[in-house]
Structures are given as structure tokens and as C-alpha cells.
């Protein structure tokens, strides 16, 4: 079509671009390790400095895995100071502790002074208490007070995400005065792209974007440019709700106010992207019956075997209890089962299909609730929809299984009918159950993801067996 279009081969080549970059990175990390091995620190540093701060953080992580802390600290010290501050803020908590324990108080002080406020809070939240105290000792009194306030917001609320580094303007300022004020503050970061106009003490009056200031004439008043219908969040709003506001409106930053509508800080979109990924991970894990008790966003490999087991045990134990009931249903039918033992062969099929179809429905509803696609007022619509989906799928799957049970397995018509009609009833029932349980959990104000697909499976196991045995009773007189 135009010159930016390429042949299919070229396209495929380019799709691999990111992979190629990652490979280059891995190769360079190997070279850096070799250089450190032979003591060529300066060469290693130069190669490291061809990367940006986030990547350098990853390189330091790799060095800490393979070498002593000393080597990593030597490299860390050889970085330009402004780079090392940024790199430090990107390191995982464990590695930050290692570095802090190995460097001098003076170096710690420098890092803490230079770090952005919100990064500082992130770092301090993750560090052990004794190191936090050590750091706070070296912080000026005023900032120490502010840090303590920020550290005391409950985790996972807007207050724990925000930074107090925002630009305040006055309504009566002209664009020129506003731009000069911004220049004086001298912040070069994403926190500067929206400026906040305050009224009286700290009450938020309106917001004005940096781009609006830049494109306006110097003598225009800030009050003529500012938006007063701004969206804001409360310090105690849950981070998941805050992320949803960002996603819905596509903002770069949002003002955070307290109960008296006083501006206490701002949340920027880069922190929110982390939150969105964390929340999606949490939902996915919860749906698979995993509860993260540590709740510290540790990576899979950094979590101990013991902690992994603890996170996974509760649901498994609860389900153990559920299986006592399933066992009781079977035991009560045992004598009859031994008469027509071929019925046992279809138990996994019916229980499994119930569990899988139910989980499909519950997954869609749980995700729909999380992304505001559906809500409680849609309950009847959802029930009706899932009933019809269940009927449609049930008929198709029953037809397939009739072929199997009657022709392939060569069982009689009565066994075939028992299995297939049970299948139909189970699929319809599982779809309805799977869609309604998350809505019920939401209704009682719990996180729908917490009900977990294993629950759906085990409830539908019990229901599936009951339906199966009822069908066997009807068709085979058992």
C-alpha cells in the first residue's frame, strides 16, 4: 500500500524484534559476568551504562545471584550517582537490603535524598524495620514526619500510592507566572503534567494540564484554563478502584483528596500500571484457589516452598471436607453401583464436564464484575443467558456422548440415556450455578474471585453425582 508496508517475511522478522532485544540483553549480561570474573570492572561498567536504569537494575540482580555482594556493590558504586539512585529504586526489596547493608551511611543518605518521594515510600515499605529506622535517622525532621504519615496509610489504598510532589498554582496567576513557578520547582517527571489549583488553604479548586499552559498566551489567567469538573480520588479508596478510574478515563495523574476535599497528593499512571498487573495476578491466583497470605508481590521463585504450600493449602483443605459429602453420596449408592458397575466409568466424564462448564461461566462473570462489564442488576439477564447457553452446549455434548456410550462402548440404550440426559441436566445446572455463585459472593460484599473455581468444581461434582444417580434411578430402576 505505502512504503511502510513490507513483505510477509519482513513482518515476521520484525515480530521477533523484542525477542531479539532480550537475547542481546542476555548475551551482554554474560559478557558482563565474564568481565567481572576477570576483574575488568571498568569495561563491565561501560557495557552496563549502555543500558537504561531499569535494565541496569536487572543486571545488578543477575550479578547478585552469581557473585558475592561485594562485587555487586563495587559495580553499584562505579555508576554515576544519579544513575545509581534510580537503579536502586528499581531493585527488588531483598537486593536493596543487601546493598544498604554493604554501603556507607553517607551513601545511604545520598540515595535517600535523591530518590523521588513516591519511590522512597515504596522502598521503605519493603525494607525491614531496623533498616527503615537507620534510614529515617538520617532524614531531616520535616521529611521524616511526612514519610511516617505516608508509611501509615493502609496498604493497597490510594494513600499508599501517592506522592506529595505536585505543582500547585493559584487561580490568579497568569500562564507566564505559572510557567515560571513550574520552572522554579524544576521537576522533570510525570508528576508535572497536571498542575493543581488550590483555593484558600489546601482545598482543591481545579486542575490545568501543562500542555494547556504551554500552548496558551502568556497573559491568560490560570482560572480561565482550569477544569473544575476534574475527577479525584479519596486517600482511602482501594487501589483496584483507583486503577479502574485511570483505565476508564485514560488520565496520566489524579488528585488525591482527604475527607475535607483538601489535596494531599497525586497518583501517577506509572504506579497504576503496576497495580493493574498486580490486581489481575491476584484475581487469577484467587480463582485458581491460591491466597497470597504474604501479600508482598514476591516473585514465584523468591517465595519459599513453605510459603507456597501455605498459600495453596486452605482451599485444598476446604475441598477435602467437600469431598466427604461427595463420598457420602457415592457410598449411599454403592450397592446399586456394584450391580451396574459400568456406570462408574462415566463418573469422571460427568463430574469433569460439570466442573469445566461451571468454571467457564464463573470465570466470565468474575472477570465481568472486576471490569464493570456486568453488575448485580444484570442477575436475571445472566441467569437466562447461561440457561440457554447450557441447554445448547448440553444438547451438543449429550449427542456426542450418545455416540460414544451407545456405539463405541457398546452399552445398552438405558445406560446411554442415563449418561446423556444426566449430561444435559448437569451442563445446564453447572452453567447456572457457576454464573450465580460469583454474583452471590459479590452481593455479600466479598471479592468474587475468592470463591475460586475449585469450589465451583466441587459443588458441581456433588450436584453431578446426584443428578446421575437420579437419572439411573429413573431409567434403570436402580
Residues 273-312 that bind a copy of itself (CB under 8 A): 273-274, 276-277, 280-281, 283-285, 287-290, 299-301, 305-306, 308-309, 312
Of 129, 259, 380, 477, the one binding a copy of itself by CB under 8 A: 259
Applying CB under 8 A, the site for a copy of itself has a residue count of 145
State the first-to-last Cα distance of the chain, in angstroms, to the nearest integer.
71
Buried b (16+ CB within 10 A) or exposed e, 7-25: eeeeeeeeeeeeeeeeeee
For residues 102 and 387, which CB has a smaller minimum distance to a copy of itself in the complex?
387
Of 454, 459, 463, 469, the one binding a copy of itself by CB under 8 A: 454
What is the SS3 assignment for 75? Answer: helix
Q: Is 327 in the site for a copy of itself (CB under 8 A)?
A: yes
Of 17, 38, 142, 219, the one binding a copy of itself by CB under 8 A: 17
Of 77, 144, 198, 385, the one binding a copy of itself by CB under 8 A: 385
Using CB under 8 A as the criterion, what x/- string covers residues 337-376 for binding a copy of itself?
Answer: xx--xx-xxxxxx-xxx-xxx-xx--xxx-xx--x-xx--
**Rg (the chain; Cα; Å):** 30
> What is the greatest pairwise CA distance in the chain?
94
Q: Which three cell numbers stand for residue 222?
A: 490560570
CB of 98 to a copy of itself, least distance (A): 20
Using CB under 8 A as the criterion, what x/- string covers residues 126-165 for binding a copy of itself?
Answer: -------------------x--xx--x----x--------
CB of 463 to a copy of itself, least distance (A): 12
CB of 88 to a copy of itself, least distance (A): 16
Q: Is 2 in the site for a copy of itself (CB under 8 A)?
A: yes
Give CA 390 to chain center in angstroms: 31
Q: Classify residue 163 as left (phi > 0), alpha (psi -120 to 50) or beta.
A: beta
For residues 348 and 477, which CB has a smaller minimum distance to a copy of itself in the complex?
348
CB of 101 to a copy of itself, least distance (A): 25
For Cα atoms 433, 363, 296, give the angle at the middle one, nearest 5 degrees.
Answer: 125
423-to-55, 432, 471 alpha-carbon distances in Å: 53, 14, 10
For residues 102 and 329, which CB has a smaller minimum distance to a copy of itself in the complex?
329
Of 197, 272, 421, 437, the one binding a copy of itself by CB under 8 A: 272
The whole-angstrom separation of Cα 265 and Cα 267 is 7
Residues in contact with 283: Cβ distance below 8 Å, sequence separation at least 6, in sequence order: 366, 367, 370, 449
Stretch that binds a copy of itself, among 35-43, 124-132, 136-144, 313-321 (CB under 8 A): 313-321
| Cβ atoms 243, 278 nearer than 8 A | no
Q: Is 88 in the site for a copy of itself (CB under 8 A)?
A: no
Q: Is 417 in the site for a copy of itself (CB under 8 A)?
A: no
Q: Is 24 in the site for a copy of itself (CB under 8 A)?
A: no
For residues 187 and 413, which CB has a smaller minimum distance to a copy of itself in the complex?
187
186 DSSP 8-state letter: T
The whole-angstrom separation of Cα 99 and Cα 112 is 13
For residues 103 and 269, which CB has a smaller minimum distance to a copy of itself in the complex?
269
Residues in contact with 276: Cβ distance below 8 Å, sequence separation at least 6, in sequence order: 243, 247
Q: Is 229 in the site for a copy of itself (CB under 8 A)?
A: yes
How crowded is residue 51: how many other Cβ atoms within 10 Å of its Cβ? 17
Amino acid at each position: 500500500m505505502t512504503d511502510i508496508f513490507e513483505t510477509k517475511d519482513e513482518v515476521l522478522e520484525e515480530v521477533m524484534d523484542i525477542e531479539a532485544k532480550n537475547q542481546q540483553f542476555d548475551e551482554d549480561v554474560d559478557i558482563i559476568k565474564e568481565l567481572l570474573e576477570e576483574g575488568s570492572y571498568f569495561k563491565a561498567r561501560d557495557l552496563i551504562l549502555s543500558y537504561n536504569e531499569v535494565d541496569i537494575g536487572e543486571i545488578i540482580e543477575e550479578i547478585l545471584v552469581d557473585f558475592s555482594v561485594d562485587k555487586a556493590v563495587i559495580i553499584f558504586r562505579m555508576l554515576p550517582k544519579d544513575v545509581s539512585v534510580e537503579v536502586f529504586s528499581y531493585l527488588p526489596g531483598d537486593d536493596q537490603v543487601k546493598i544498604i547493608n554493604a554501603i556507607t551511611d553517607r551513601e545511604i543518605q545520598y540515595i535517600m535524598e535523591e530518590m523521588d518521594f513516591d519511590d522512597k515510600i515504596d522502598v521503605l515499605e519493603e525494607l525491614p524495620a531496623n533498616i527503615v529506622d537507620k534510614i529515617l535517622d538520617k532524614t531531616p525532621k520535616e521529611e521524616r514526619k511526612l514519610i511516617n504519615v505516608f508509611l501509615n496509610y493502609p496498604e493497597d489504598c490510594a494513600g499508599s500510592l501517592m506522592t506529595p510532589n505536585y505543582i500547585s498554582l493559584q487561580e490568579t496567576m497568569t500562564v507566564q507566572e505559572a510557567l515560571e513557578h513550574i520552572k522554579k520547582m524544576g521537576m522533570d517527571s510525570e508528576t508535572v503534567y497536571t498542575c493543581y489549583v488550590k483555593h484558600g488553604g489546601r482545598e482543591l479548586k481545579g486542575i490545568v494540564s501543562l500542555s494547556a499552559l504551554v500552548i496558551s498566551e502568556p497573559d491568560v489567567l490560570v482560572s480561565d484554563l482550569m477544569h473544575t469538573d476534574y475527577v479525584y480520588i479519596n486517600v482511602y479508596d482501594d487501589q483496584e478502584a483507583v486503577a479502574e478510574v485511570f483505565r476508564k478515563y485514560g488520565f496520566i495523574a489524579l488528585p488525591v483528596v482527604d475527607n475535607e476535599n483538601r489535596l494531599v497528593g497525586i497518583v501517577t499512571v506509572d504506579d497504576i500500571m503496576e497495580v493493574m498487573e498486580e490486581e489481575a495476578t491476584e484475581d487469577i491466583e484467587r480463582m485458581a484457589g491460591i491466597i497470597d497470605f504474604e501479600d508482598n508481590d514476591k516473585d514465584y521463585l523468591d517465595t519459599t516452598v513453605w510459603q507456597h504450600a501455605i498459600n495453596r493449602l486452605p482451599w485444598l483443605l476446604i475441598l477435602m471436607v467437600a469431598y466427604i459429602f461427595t463420598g457420602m453420596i457415592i457410598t449411599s449408592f454403592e450397592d446399586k453401583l456394584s450391580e451396574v458397575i459400568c456406570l462408574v466409568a462415566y463418573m469422571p466424564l460427568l463430574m469433569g464436564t460439570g466442573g469445566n462448564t461451571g468454571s467457564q461461566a464463573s470465570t466470565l462473570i468474575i472477570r465481568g464484575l472486576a471490569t464493570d462489564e456486568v453488575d448485580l442488576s444484570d442477575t436475571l439477564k445472566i441467569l437466562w443467558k447461561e440457561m440457554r447457553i447450557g441447554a445448547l452446549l448440553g444438547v451438543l455434548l449429550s449427542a456426542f456422548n450418545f455416540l460414544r456410550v451407545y456405539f463405541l462402548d457398546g452399552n445398552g440404550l438405558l445406560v446411554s440415556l442415563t449418561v446423556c440426559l444426566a449430561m444435559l441436566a448437569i451442563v445446564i445446572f453447572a452453567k447456572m450455578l457457576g454464573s450465580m455463585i460469583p454474583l452471590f459472593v459479590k452481593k455479600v460484599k466479598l471479592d468474587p474471585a475468592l470463591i475460586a473455581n475449585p469450589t465451583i468444581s466441587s459443588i458441581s461434582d456433588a450436584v453431578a453425582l446426584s443428578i446421575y444417580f437420579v437419572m439411573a434411578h429413573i431409567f434403570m430402576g436402580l
